[in-house]
Amino acid sequence: MSLGNSSNAARTRRHFFGKGAYGLGIAALARLMGEEMPSGGLAEVPHFTPKAKRVVYLFQSGAPSQIDLFDHKPQLERLRGQDLPDSVRQGQRLTAMTASQTTFPIAPSMFRFQRHGESGTWISELLPHTARIADRLCVLNSVHTEAINHDPAVTFFQTGAQLAGRPSIGAWISYGLGSENRDLPGFVVMVSSGTGRNGQPLYDRLWGSGFLPTRYQGVKFRSNGDPVLFLSDPDGIDRNARRRFLDDLGRLNQFKYNDFGDPEILTRVSQYEMAFRMQASVPELTDLSNEPDSAFTLYGPDSRKPGTFAANCLLARRLLERDVRFVQLFHRGWDQHTDLPAQIRKQCADTDQASAALVTDLAQRGLLDDTLVVWGGEFGRTVYSQGKLTSDNYGRDHHPRCFSMWLAGAGIRAGTVVGETDDFSYNITKDPVHVHDLHATVLHMLGIDHEKLTFKYQGRHFRLTDVHGDVVRKAMA
């Protein structure tokens, strides 16, 4: 565990510096170590040559409706209002919210679909910007999960298990690969809310490290107050004063180290030095004032408003430019049980342009070649209407049996669609992609064999993919 880890690190340091380390100037030593030692990471990882150096995951919390966005079902219009046939439902479990509904009227999407790009990928009118990058996407129309409610489902996507307690995917990746950037955390999270609907809550544990050491947990960048908790020096302490403070702190800690020889003291000093560097690097990163107008044009007007999904996408690009390994955005508000048409319009207006802009921007900067982009929610939505179906209104309940996500960038077979569903977008008919498969694929792109990235806890070797997961070859270039 972390004790083991830190003492491994300690051993390495001792080998590196020999016993003379006791006498070395400690601040100099710590700075040197910061440069010499990648922060974290396992020696045997990557297991093979990676396609991607970094990942950005645009998590659409609340579960977007695949039927209204990607999974085109034109034949449903004939069946409007008819009860969903039992042969389709196959007695599959429903959430307790609609289980007592007496009818399950089929609600075709009221949005127009068109084929886009050379690939001819079906995308609905709700996503005009995404449609323009259709040829860069691999749309997965056959993703499925096991959970039927938000909390367990989001937890499942984040950790490979429905109940809390396991490390998040970003923590696993940080644990395996470490950080490439010595001034920023390796795993950064940003959250935003849509204007369409009050979103489902999120939880700190979604980017937690579970039983992995805390240092691998995601660091949340915030749009209000300090971008990273406790980042700013208090009023009355300027940069020079803080430097002097740290120099004195280093000197006193060095006396202690000379006396006690505990390598943890060295680590502590190096962490204070990294904190000092973060105090410069994070504000520089989050300061968008030097972005050209063209950037804001690309990402849309919201990108000027801190805390929006669009602004977070722009920040994500800046993080990726700085080689932050795993960036995850959570956007809330897709849980459209009722009034779906009105809500999903707003939700798409909030996210469509910026999502597409991020892909385009990364491509223009040559970063898309080694950055994997993932877009998707925790499950899909039902073909039948929750509540009353009218000519211009319907709602949709949770649907775990099939839904859509997309991938772009490093190693992805662009301009393709993987998987098919039945006429009702209810059951998968071809190439199912389980959550574990998606996880295996993301790790694979990073050069990680998902069966080999393990951590022993409570007597068992845990993996992100439990004992499952197949890499989705069809999605790969």
Which residues inside 205-244 make contact with another protein, applying CB under 8 A? 205, 208, 213-215, 219, 222-226, 228-238, 240-242, 244
Given the complex with another protein, which of 39 and 353 has the nearer CB atom? 39
Contact between 279 and another protein per CB under 8 A:
yes
Contact between 20 and another protein per CB under 8 A:
no
The nearest distance, CB 362 to another protein, in angstroms, is 26
First to last CA, the chain: 37
Given the complex with another protein, which of 50 and 105 has the nearer CB atom? 105
The nearest distance, CB 445 to another protein, in angstroms, is 21
Q: Which stretch binds another protein (CB under 8 A): 82-90, 160-168, 414-422, 423-431?
A: 160-168
Given the complex with another protein, which of 32 and 295 has the nearer CB atom? 32
Contact between 58 and another protein per CB under 8 A:
no
The nearest distance, CB 91 to another protein, in angstroms, is 11
The nearest distance, CB 261 to another protein, in angstroms, is 4
Q: What are the structure tokens assigned to 356, written together?
A: 């597409």
Residue in 107, 143, 173, 265 binding another protein, rule: CB under 8 A:
265
Contact between 11 and another protein per CB under 8 A:
yes
User: Distance between CA 460 and CA 476 in Å, rounded?
Assistant: 31
The nearest distance, CB 198 to another protein, in angstroms, is 6
Given the complex with another protein, which of 50 and 263 has the nearer CB atom? 263
Contact between 118 and another protein per CB under 8 A:
no
Which residues inside 291-320 make contact with another protein, applying CB under 8 A? none
Residue entry with tokens 């972390």: 2
Site string for another protein, 352-381 (x = CB under 8 A): ------------------------------
Contact between 393 and another protein per CB under 8 A:
no
The nearest distance, CB 379 to another protein, in angstroms, is 12
Greatest Cα pair distance, the chain, in angstroms, is 82
The nearest distance, CB 466 to another protein, in angstroms, is 11
Residue 377 CA to chain centroid, in angstroms?
A: 10
Tell me the residue type at 375: W
Contact between 468 and another protein per CB under 8 A:
no
Contact 408/136 with Cβ under 8 angstroms?
yes
C-alpha dist (Å) from residue 284 to 167, 202, 315, 318? 30, 27, 11, 10
Give phi and psi for 141, each to the nearest 5: -95, 5
Residue in 195, 456, 473, 477 binding another protein, rule: CB under 8 A:
456
- Nearest one of 8, 446, 41 to 212, comparing CA atoms: 41
User: Distance between CA 94 and CA 241 in Å, rounded?
Assistant: 61
The nearest distance, CB 347 to another protein, in angstroms, is 15
Contact between 202 and another protein per CB under 8 A:
yes
Given the complex with another protein, which of 151 and 369 has the nearer CB atom? 151
The nearest distance, CB 455 to another protein, in angstroms, is 7
The nearest distance, CB 461 to another protein, in angstroms, is 6
Contact between 204 and another protein per CB under 8 A:
yes
User: Distance between CA 319 and CA 376 in Å, rounded?
Assistant: 20
The nearest distance, CB 212 to another protein, in angstroms, is 10
Given the complex with another protein, which of 240 and 294 has the nearer CB atom? 240
User: Distance between CA 310 and CA 271 in Å, rounded?
Assistant: 32
How many residues lie near another protein (CB under 8 A)?
A: 108
Residue in 12, 181, 271, 427 binding another protein, rule: CB under 8 A:
271
Which residues inside 396-415 make contact with another protein, applying CB under 8 A? 397-398
Contact 298/360 with Cβ under 8 angstroms?
yes
